[in-house]
Amino acid sequence: MPFADLNGFRVYFETHGGGFPLLLINGLGSDHLEWLFQVPAFEPYFRVVVYDHFGTGKSDVPPGPYTTARMADDVDILLESLGILRAHVLGVSLGGMIAQEVALRHPGRVERLVLGCTAPGGALSLRPSEAAMAAFLGAGRGNPEAELRRMMPYLYTDAYIDEQPEEIDAFLRRRLENRTDPAAFAAQLSAAMTHNAADRLHRIEAGTLVITGDADRLVPPENSSRLAERIPGARLVVLPGAPHRLFAENAEAFNREVMGFLQG
């Protein structure tokens, strides 16, 4: 299996396709399998790199605390180990926060930046609702499937949950078969909640696409507007009716916007 050593801990990664590198950074509690709608679409055009955050998938579980800055430094080491000097970087949710830090802490690594369904942190962010936070704060304390089902309304639209039960079941199966370590989940959640790039966004040099859905019940879409306003030259795309997991439920539209931006 392909592993990279990051400061004494192993992180699992995969590469697909060829061409200019494109790094995909997944969100809270997710492993590389969540890019099932993106890898096939992107690999004919890019060398797509996916990996498992520490504590998820096949990667090791180093002790916390985790921060988005620390996780961005891990990305830098991973790219170095793969001989990648520069890449497009796409991050969603927590991954979008990590991607912000990659662009700020390691600007030479980033050619173009895509920030999906994410937030700037600090006083600039609109926080999730209390109900949404309650659904995620309880992770690791009870029945795993019941915990995941409580999260569903904040990840997908009600219509998708009702009309695409096979996709929801497949998502649940992936998460249950590749469970995130509860301590690592809590550490990742803490990293998301303490993320704060608000006062540094103007320093991002990479061309940036900010993309969200106007039906996101987890990360309020206004956060994307605030990101785009403060990143020089950033382009904002809001997909109508798209939820937090827009890269899954609205994969075709999401991929089209990303491809247009990266190849434009």
Residue 225 has pLDDT above 90, yes or no: yes
Residue 95 CB contacts under 8 Å (≥ 6 apart), including other chains:
24, 25, 26, 27, 30, 116, 118
Give the C-alpha distances (Å, rounded to integers) separating 74 from 46, 114, 222, 230.
Answer: 22, 18, 29, 25
**At residue 69, does pLDDT exceed 90?**
yes
Q: Is the pLDDT of residue 140 over 80?
A: no
For range 229-249, the mean pLDDT: 98
Q: Model pTM greater than 0.85?
A: yes
Q: Is the distance from CB of 32 to CB of 3 less than 8 angstroms?
A: no
Instruction: Look at residue 141 and tell me whether its pLDDT is greater than 90.
Output: no
pLDDT for residue 136: 84
Q: For residue range 124-138, what is the model confidence (pLDDT) as tens digits?
A: 999 999 999 888 886
pLDDT of residue 30: 92
Question: Domains along the chain?
Answer: 3-263 (3.40.50.1820)
CA angle 36, 39, 41 (to 5 degrees): 105
Per-residue model confidence as pLDDT tens digits over 16-59? 999 999 999 999 999 999 999 999 999 999 999 999 998 899 99
DSSP letters for 40-94: HHHTTTSEEEEEPPTTSTTS----S---HHHHHHHHHHHHHHTT-S-EEEEEETH
Per DSSP, the three-state class of 189 is helix
Which residues face 54 on adjacent strands? none
Q: What is the pLDDT of residues 183-193, one digit of tens each?
A: 899 999 999 99
The reported pLDDT for the residue numbered 139 is 61
Q: What percent of the chain has pLDDT over 70?
A: 98
Residue 1 has pLDDT above 90, yes or no: no
Task: Supply φ then ψ for residue 60, to 5 degrees.
Answer: -70, 170
Q: Are 205 and 107 in contact (CB under 8 A)?
A: yes
Residues 6+ apart with CB under 8 A from 173: none
Extract the tokens encoding 35: 């890019």
| Stretch 69-76: mean pLDDT | 96
Cβ atoms of residues 42 and 22 within 8 Å = yes
Give the tens place of pLDDT for each residue, 84-123: 999 999 999 999 999 999 999 999 999 999 999 999 999 9
Predicted confidence (pLDDT) at residue 167 exceeds the cutoff of 90: yes
